[in-house]
């Protein structure tokens, strides 16, 4: 059998998942799925995504949406941050308590190939898509939705954050996204969560969160600046030093052999070795 696999192409990856979907009965699940498609329709329309610029795959409790790279991610992000909350808010105002819908969302990007099989649906293949699905399943994203009253929560992949969000394009505020290192199955991934991190989530140190992404080394501080020089020890008067035998090196000079008041004893106060300078003259100590 000859394996025919399409060439991978770069796509914006949008993943959506309905919270607590499996706990609903069949009638409510069908109702929720229809409404999810309505929300996605409104969102893609707001972002100017035509039908021929998208691919959708129904996953039962969610959707995989691939969008042409010709659509700016900034436009999609603005729609996800405005249109989705508005649409969910309008729906949930009229829906019964058993049919309330809340969403987890991930926006990522990467190479995706298509391997269709006659008689079946789907067939998407790609490492970047797999990693995006891992982010959607991350505990940090689930907990963020569970611990807030909002109807949806958005996370973005590290490439989307670095390439788009952190530059502060119109409608996007980088300070509203927070980094969390998440572990899903055997993968350790970077998630940038819009909104506060959930309780119990440990954010990495600023230098480790930015190392390798912005080109900054570990020697930079949280604001991308070199760390402050260590504080100098305060000068003390009457400090005591004890030299017990051997060779002592002070400032590049050496004191060798037995010295009266030094070897085996204590010297308290100022100890001067080398040249002492006075106004107009100098003398050896």
Q: φ, ψ for residue 22 (rounded to 5)?
A: -70, -15
- Provide the pLDDT for residue 213: 45
> Is 222 part of a structural domain of the chain?
no
| Domain end residue (candidates: 200, 227, 259) | 200
Farthest CA pair distance, the chain: 101
In total, how many domains does the chain have? 2
For residues 146 and 36, membership in a common domain is answered with yes
> Is 221 part of a structural domain of the chain?
no
- Provide the pLDDT for residue 3: 55
pTM: 0.70
For residues 132 and 252, membership in a common domain is answered with no
**Alpha carbon distance 101, 89 (integer Å):** 9
For residues 159 and 251, membership in a common domain is answered with no
| Domain end residue (candidates: 179, 200, 221) | 200
For residues 135 and 266, membership in a common domain is answered with no
Closest CA to 16 of 190, 114, 136, 158: 136
- Provide the pLDDT for residue 152: 98
Question: For every one of its 285 residues, what pLDDT tens digit does the chain have, with 9 covering 90 and above?
Answer: 455 668 999 999 999 999 999 999 999 999 999 999 999 999 999 999 999 999 999 988 999 999 999 999 999 999 999 999 999 999 999 999 999 999 999 999 999 999 888 888 888 999 999 999 999 999 999 999 999 999 999 999 999 999 999 999 999 999 999 999 998 888 899 999 999 998 876 665 444 444 444 443 333 433 344 444 444 444 444 444 444 454 444 444 444 555 444 444 454 555 445 544 555 554 554
CATH number for position 24: 3.30.70.1230
> Is 255 part of a structural domain of the chain?
yes
- Provide the pLDDT for residue 240: 44
For residues 196 and 247, membership in a common domain is answered with no
For residues 20 and 155, membership in a common domain is answered with yes
Domain extent, residue 246, equals: 240-284
For residues 38 and 103, membership in a common domain is answered with yes
Distances in Å between the Cα of 11 and the Cα atoms of 110, 127, 160, 190 are 6, 13, 12, 19
């Amino acid at each position: 059998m000859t394996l025919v696999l399409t060439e991978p192409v770069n796509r914006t990856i949008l993943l959506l998942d309905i919270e607590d979907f499996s706990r609903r009965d069949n009638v409510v699940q069908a109702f929720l799925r229809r409404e999810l498609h309505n929300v996605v329709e409104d969102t893609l329309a707001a972002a100017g995504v035509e039908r021929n610029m998208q691919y959708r795959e129904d996953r039962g409790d969610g959707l995989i949406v691939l969008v042409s790279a010709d659509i700016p991610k900034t436009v999609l992000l603005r729609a996800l941050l405005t249109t989705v909350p508005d649409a969910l808010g309008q729906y949930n105002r009229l829906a019964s308590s058993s049919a309330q819908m809340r969403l987890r969302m991930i926006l990522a990007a990467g190479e995706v190939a298509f391997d269709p099989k006659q008689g079946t649906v789907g067939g998407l293949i790609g490492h970047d898509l797999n990693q995006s699905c891992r982010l959607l399943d991350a505990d940090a994203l689930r907990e963020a939705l569970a611990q807030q009253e909002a109807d949806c929560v958005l996370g973005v992949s590290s490439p989307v954050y670095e390439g788009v969000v952190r530059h502060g394009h119109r409608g996007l505020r980088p300070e509203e996204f927070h980094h969390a290192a998440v572990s899903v199955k055997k993968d350790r991934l970077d998630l940038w969560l819009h909104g506060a991190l959930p309780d119990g989530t440990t954010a990495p140190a600023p230098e480790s969160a930015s190392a390798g992404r912005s080109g900054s080394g570990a020697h930079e501080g949280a604001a991308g600046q070199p760390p402050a020089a260590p504080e100098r020890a305060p000068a003390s008067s009457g400090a005591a030093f004890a030299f017990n035998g051997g060779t002592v090196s002070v400032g590049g000079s050496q004191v060798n052999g037995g010295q009266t008041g030094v070897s085996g004893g204590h010297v308290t106060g100022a100890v001067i070795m080398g040249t002492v300078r006075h106004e107009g003259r100098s003398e050896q100590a």
